[in-house]
Amino acid sequence: MSAETGFLDNVRNYGFTRSLRAKILKGLRRFADFELCVLLMNSGKPYEFDLPSEIPVEAITCSESFHATRHEQMPEIDYQWAFDRGDQCIVNKHDGVIVGYEFSTNLPTRVNDGIEIYFPEWCGYGYASFTALDYRGQRLAKHRWPESRRQKTLRHGSPPREVFYINLANLAGLKSDAADGVPSLRLGYGLWINISGRYWCWNSRAAKRNGIGFRTENN
């Protein structure tokens, strides 16, 4: 499939403006390492969808158990730091093996080796959501949501409003958020860029007003 054919397919699926923007951003990635993202918050409305699944969901607090029972298709990332600071971990398990997981926290969190995302303390932030390749297409990420919400309610008395971000070049991610049936609230835009090994950040006025954005880790 040619690049032009791929672009036309994107236009049909995601619209001209979003597709052109994504194409420009991906082209610019050849010259600099950066992400331009929309910063979002869930609406707070209850999710309404059926979640039939034979794969159970549970919260896990033991780092050793988490790292020892991950599916072989999971990335070998050490999340000891997340367990050490008490972040919430929700997993999908099949025959005792973790086939999907996600973390959430109320603390500023690393995006990469030089950047972190910050947000109001009364918000939650979900990160590191992953499903093993053999289990994708089963909506396991959605299966984790009700248990994640229940655990947050137990911990905080009520579930915190969740913030997250989506790269504007991620057309599927933008469409998926809109297709969930509960529109998210746009808080602004954030950009981080690595120039000659040094990170720089920019956050829109709306993002600053809402107390959310990217910053270098030494801030």
User: What CATH number has the domain bearing residue 183?
Assistant: 3.40.630.30
151 in any annotated domain: yes
Number of domains comprising the chain = 1
2 domain residue, yes or no: no
Whether 16 is covered by a domain: the verdict is no
Q: Are 147 and 58 in contact (CB under 8 A)?
A: yes
Tens digit of each residue's pLDDT, the chain (219 residues) = 455 558 788 788 777 888 888 888 888 888 889 999 999 998 777 666 566 667 899 999 999 999 999 999 999 999 999 999 999 999 999 999 999 999 999 999 999 889 999 999 889 998 999 999 999 888 888 888 888 888 988 888 887 888 999 999 988 777 766 555 566 899 999 999 999 889 999 999 999 999 999 999 866
Whole-angstrom distance, CA of residue 82 vs CA of residue 94: 23
| 8 Å CB contact between 108 and 118 | yes
Domain range for residue 153? 22-216
pTM: 0.80
Q: Is 81 inside a domain boundary?
A: yes
Residues 29, 22: Cα–Cα separation, whole Å: 11
Specify if 10 maps to a domain: no
- Exposure string of 168-185, with b = 16+ CB inside 10 Å and e = fewer, is bbbbebbeebeeeeeebe
